[in-house]
């Protein structure tokens, strides 16, 4: 099997098994997590009451990093202390979902770096404040597919600048998040994603759906409905592009180190499935 004839994965588990078979390149048994990091970070923009609390597991494999944002208490921080030195093949079989996702992301970031992907459009987020950089990032995400006035846009994983970006295009935002009750403008946030997936004309989801295990369900539901899915991925930035054209219509991929850790220009990589342009909102 050549890399050009790879069968599109139906799920994250399918992709993981393909990597373990060596379908994507070097045997992960011969690659090791040289570094493992645990990052705990919070953000609260001036004039708002919303505090975002993020926890990340990051693995370093040769010249690549793999990142996974996790829910509070989903993974013990001490995990980072025992993961370094272990073979990627072992980590890809780990019973803990965040460990598997970080390992898969690191492997694919190594063998499929964004800078070498013909379909990736690099874009630099500008030097600026956290809010300015978040607004630039979220405007890029919202522009990946055309949001027509009145279009119902499901947002799985709420970031308030992205809510604003959706509304600036005339979209009706249907927010869903485990950790927020209301958006900054007072819109109630759903906890159950299923009604959102059933009602939306377009869905934008965070890569954190990989770490909480909901990505496969979102993918299957929207495939069945013929509704396009856009993913903004810090978690799994190298994973999600493997689903382009097979459930995912577009991706904003942001590899580690993430934009919130710097004020200097940092890259994101914008992908669209083949045949989908900026003005399209067709399902992949």
Q: What is the pLDDT of residues 174-183, one digit of tens each?
A: 999 988 889 8
Instruction: Order across the sheet with 35-43: list the strands.
Output: 35-43, 52-61, 64-70
| Locus of tokens 């009750």 | 181
Give the model's pLDDT for residue 165. 87
Q: How confident is the model at residue 275 (pLDDT cuts 50, 70, 90)?
A: low
Residues in the chain, total: 284
Q: How confident is the model at residue 276 (pLDDT cuts 50, 70, 90)?
A: low
CA distance linking residue 277 with residue 164, whole number of Å? 23
Helix/strand/coil (H/E/C) assignment for every residue in 25-43? CCCHHHCECCEEEEEEEEE
Confidence at residue 184, expressed as pLDDT on a 0 to 100 scale: 84
Pairing of strands 229-233, 202-206: parallel
CA distance 16 to 184: 37
Average pLDDT over residues 246-257: 94
Global pTM reads 0.91
What is the three-class DSSP state of 3?
helix
130 pLDDT more than 50: yes
Give the Å distances, CA to CA, from 121 to 71, 104, 113, 127: 30, 22, 13, 19
Q: How does residue 2 score in pLDDT terms, banded at 50, 70 and 90?
A: very low
Residue 257, exposed/middle/buried by CB under 10 A (0-12, 13-18, 19+)? middle
pLDDT confidence of residue 179: 83
Q: According to the model, what pLDDT value does residue 185 have? A: 84
Q: What is the pLDDT of residue 31?
A: 98
Helix axes 160-168, 130-142, angle to 10 degrees: 50
User: How much is the average pLDDT of 9-13?
Assistant: 95
pLDDT of residue 251: 97
CA distance 182 to 5: 45
In the chain the domains, ranked by start, together with CATH numbers, are: 3-115 (3.30.390), 116-272 (3.40.640.10)
Question: What pLDDT is stored for residue 280 in this prediction?
Answer: 58
Flag whether pLDDT at 220 surpasses 50. yes
Listing DSSP states for 123-147 in one string gives: EEEPSS-HHHHHHHHHHHHHTSS--
Average per-residue pLDDT in the chain? 91
- Nearest Cα neighbor of 169 from 212, 230, 222, 216 is 230
Mean pLDDT of 133-142: 88
User: What tens digit of pLDDT does each residue of 39-90 get?
Assistant: 999 988 788 787 888 899 999 999 999 999 998 889 999 999 999 999 999 9
Distance between CA atoms of 97 and 4, rounded to whole angstroms? 28
Q: Are 173 and 166 in contact (CB under 8 A)?
A: yes
Q: Is the pLDDT of residue 283 over 70?
A: no
Query: What is the pLDDT, as a whole number, of residue 1?
Result: 40
């Amino acid at each position: 099997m050549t890399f050009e004839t790879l069968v599109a994965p139906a799920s994250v588990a399918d992709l993981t098994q393909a990597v373990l078979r060596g379908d994507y390149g070097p045997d992960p048994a011969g690659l090791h997590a040289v570094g493992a990091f645990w990052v705990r970070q919070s953000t609260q923009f001036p004039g708002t009451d919303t505090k975002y609390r993020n926890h990340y597991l990051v693995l370093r494999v040769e010249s690549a990093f793999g990142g996974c944002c996790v829910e509070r208490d989903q993974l013990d921080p001490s995990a980072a202390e025992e993961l370094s030195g272990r073979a990627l093949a072992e980590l890809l079989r780990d019973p803990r979902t965040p460990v598997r996702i970080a390992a898969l992301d690191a492997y694919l970031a190594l063998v499929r770096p964004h800078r070498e992907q013909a379909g990736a459009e690099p874009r630099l987020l500008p030097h600026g404040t956290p809010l300015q950089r978040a607004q630039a990032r979220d405007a890029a995400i919202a522009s990946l597919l055309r949001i027509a006035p009145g279009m119902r846009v499901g947002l799985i994983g709420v970031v308030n600048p992205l809510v604003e970006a959706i509304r600036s295009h005339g979209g009706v935002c249907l927010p869903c998040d485990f950790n927020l009750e209301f958006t900054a403008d007072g819109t109630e946030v759903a906890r159950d994603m299923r009604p959102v997936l059933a009602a939306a004309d377009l869905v934008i989801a965070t890569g954190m759906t990989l770490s909480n295990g909901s990505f496969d369900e979102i993918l299957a539901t929207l495939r069945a409905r013929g509704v396009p899915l856009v993913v903004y991925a810090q978690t799994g930035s190298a994973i999600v592009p493997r689903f382009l054209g097979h459930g995912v219509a577009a991706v904003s991929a942001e590899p580690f180190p993430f934009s919130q850790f710097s004020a200097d220009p940092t890259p994101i990589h914008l992908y669209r499935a083949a045949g989908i342009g900026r003005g399209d909102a067709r399902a992949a």
